[in-house]
Structure 1
Amino acid sequence: MTTPLIAVLGSINMDLVTTTAIRPAPGETVLGHDFTMVPGGKGANQAIAASRAGAKTMFLGAIGTDVFAPRLRAVLTESGVDTTCLRTVEGPSGIATIVVDDSGENNIIVVGGANTAMTDLSTADLTAIAAADVLVCQLETPLATVTAAVHHAHVHDTTVILNPSPVQHLSDELWDHVDVAVVNTGESEHLGGVLDRVPHVVVTLGADGARHRGPDGAHTTVTGPVVEVVDTTGAGDTFTGALAVRWAQGPATALRFACAAGSLATTTLGASAAIPWRTDIDAVLEQ
């Protein structure tokens, strides 16, 4: 198996994670169990997941000049992600405030910070996208930049995997340049028929695994390993990054690998801390 080159355009945040027995209702105050700060952001999580799963990975994004920035850069490099295209902009980095209850479910508030400064693509960004086997994008950075990246990838025959989250209206032109859409069940229902424009649609099903719909309309469902869930934050991002690593081997193989990775990501508190390495994923698949 050749090692794929994956470019990930997206967000990077510091996650401020509070654990509590029950997530508070509007106007309610509850006592928490614990608090921790963990690097996250959908883009960074997907880049780390792809790198740890065995790909050569480049991250295209931005951090600020605050106290969080050095740690955000470090977590990428420690996971083997190429940060040549990680730019620094004046001001705060992105943050996410996350509340996790005892069942592992969460609520998340994201403040974009430096991520909102990704309003264009540099020459280095364009070069990375053109050279990559796969471009992975989400929607936590400016939409115009995502659109430009997807178009550039399409022109250079780079496979485009889009995780359209948070869900928002996208142009038909953008959808027509997407090769693979990765959505959860809620996003799938919200987007509806627009996903028909995409050749490959992968729907994550939580503990039930994931489902693939190909260009011929055929469906394949793959289940993941049974694990004890601690925190679901970043599990979908881990799934997407791992999927990109094995996509060239075919949807069925990619889904099995991604389901194993996504399941393992729920067993530890915090997004980036929970993302598994390839050896861990392979060990689960061999069971």
Structure 2
Amino acid sequence: MSQTESSASSSGGVLIVGSITADLTTFSQRLPARGETILGDEFTLVLGGKGANQAVAAGLAGGTAHMVACVGTDLFSGLVTDGLRAAGVNIDHVRMVDGPTGIAHIRVDDSGENDIVMVPLANTSLSEAQIDRAFAERGASSKVLLTQLEIPWALTQYAIRRGHDAGLTVVLDPAPAAKLDEAIWPLVDIVTPNETEASILTGIVVHDRDSAVRAGRWFTDRGARYALITMAAAGAVLVSAGDVVAFDSIPVTAVDTTAAGDAFAGYLGASLALGHELPEAISRAIAAGALAVTKRGASPSLPGRADVDALLDAQKALA
């Protein structure tokens, strides 16, 4: 780590307000049709949830990750909290509540595509008071807020307002996508939808770079500082009020796409907190997302910083 990065990481953490789940994932050659039973090939039970995955990715990227969330009192509680601790994520603001931990049921086919049913459960118990305590203790030492939509929207809004008021760079991963109160966009520095999420939020069908730019303009017209539309193999576009920058994807063979977006968000947030300029942070996020799809599972697929650096160096050598 450079002296600049060391100084940034010591004073600039990443605050993640979001979900924690136990991910129950099945792997099969294809997904069953409605009403059909098929035989699968493998099953995993691991730490997941968009918030937790992004926290783990931020930590692996070299950031100082602080998780704000809730878990239950069931047999999955130890699995998820141990997984966060093992990844170096601070869980002082992860609260245990009566009842079951959040669950995600994930199905993955041989092409690496997936579908997911996420049941929030304990995640619905997150509170404004809990978020306030986290900001009181960690806000001054944090530079970036990461949040998503697997917790109640009112609390995502509250976290965004707290992050904005505290001067943090607010990054919203709007997944799972839903129509949102447009008053929130001026408080968001970077919104990071994929093409499906951008289509749902804006009403503009995103199918190529031009339509992604139009969708990005929808966000910036409503006050977001940047819209970063990700399009898997088609790369990404960064849209601001006065500029558009395109980023190429890194070709890989996909095995499981479950945590690609979380790897992207976590590396983006940590890279910004470490002092990287936005274009470089996006390049690192793209590399992290590319590596994540080459392994099975959500949190187990999240790459370490050395692997991301090696992939970026290999891409530079090819240029």
Name the CA distance, whole Å, in 1 between partners of 2:191 and 2:153: 16
Q: Which residue of 2 aligns with 1:83?
A: 91
Confirm or deny: 8 A CA contact 1:129 1:135 kept in the other structure. Answer: no
Q: 2:189 aligns with which of 175, 179, 188?
A: 179
Name the CA distance, whole Å, in 2 between partners of 1:245 and 1:45: 13
The yes-or-no answer on 1:72 pairing with 2:97 is: no
Q: Which residue of 1 aligns with 2:253?
A: 228
Q: Which residue of 2 aligns with 1:245?
A: 270
Name the CA distance, whole Å, in 1 between partners of 2:13 and 2:145: 9
Q: 1:261 aligns with which of 288, 295, 306?
A: 288
**What displacement does 1:136 show?**
0.5
**TM-score, length-scaled by structure 1:** 0.96
**What displacement does 1:207 show?**
2.1
Q: 1:61 aligns with which of 57, 69, 72?
A: 69
In structure 2, the residue corresponding to 1:72 is in which secondary structure? helix
Name the CA distance, whole Å, in 2 between partners of 1:215 and 1:251: 15
The answer for unaligned runs of 5 or more in structure 2 is 203-217, 315-319
Q: Which residue of 1 aligns with 2:238?
A: 212
Name the CA distance, whole Å, in 1 between partners of 2:23 and 2:306: 26
The residue type equivalent to 2:100 in the other structure is P
Name the CA distance, whole Å, in 1 between partners of 2:140 and 2:234: 35
Alignment RMSD: 1.4
**What displacement does 1:130 show?**
4.7
Give the alignment of 1:28-67 within 5 angstroms. 28-67=36-75
Name the CA distance, whole Å, in 2 between partners of 1:144 and 1:114: 16
Q: 2:33 aligns with which of 19, 25, 49?
A: 25
- What do the CA deviations read for 1:209-259 (whole angstroms, capped 9, x no partner)? 22211231x221222332221100011011011011223422211111000
Confirm or deny: 8 A CA contact 1:130 1:153 kept in the other structure. Answer: no
Confirm or deny: 8 A CA contact 2:67 2:90 kept in the other structure. Answer: yes
Q: 2:129 aligns with which of 94, 106, 121?
A: 121
Give the alignment of 1:102-181 within 5 angstroms. 102-122=110-130, 123-127=132-136, 128-181=138-191
The residue type equivalent to 1:141 in the other structure is I
In structure 1, the residue corresponding to 2:151 is in which secondary structure? coil
- What do the CA deviations read for 1:113-167 (whole angstroms, capped 9, x no partner)? 1101113232422222454100000010111111111111111111100011112
After superposing on structure 2, the runs of 4+ consecutive aligned residues of structure 1 that deviate more than 3 Å are none
% of aligned pairs identical? Answer: 38
Confirm or deny: 8 A CA contact 1:22 1:101 kept in the other structure. Answer: yes
**TM-score, length-scaled by structure 2:** 0.86
Confirm or deny: 8 A CA contact 2:70 2:122 kept in the other structure. Answer: yes
Larger relative helix fraction: 2
**What displacement does 1:195 show?**
5.0
**What displacement does 1:51 show?**
0.6
The residue type equivalent to 1:232 in the other structure is T
**What displacement does 1:194 show?**
4.3
In structure 2, the residue corresponding to 1:91 is in which secondary structure? coil
Confirm or deny: 8 A CA contact 1:121 1:149 kept in the other structure. Answer: no
Name the CA distance, whole Å, in 2 between partners of 1:245 and 1:194: 23
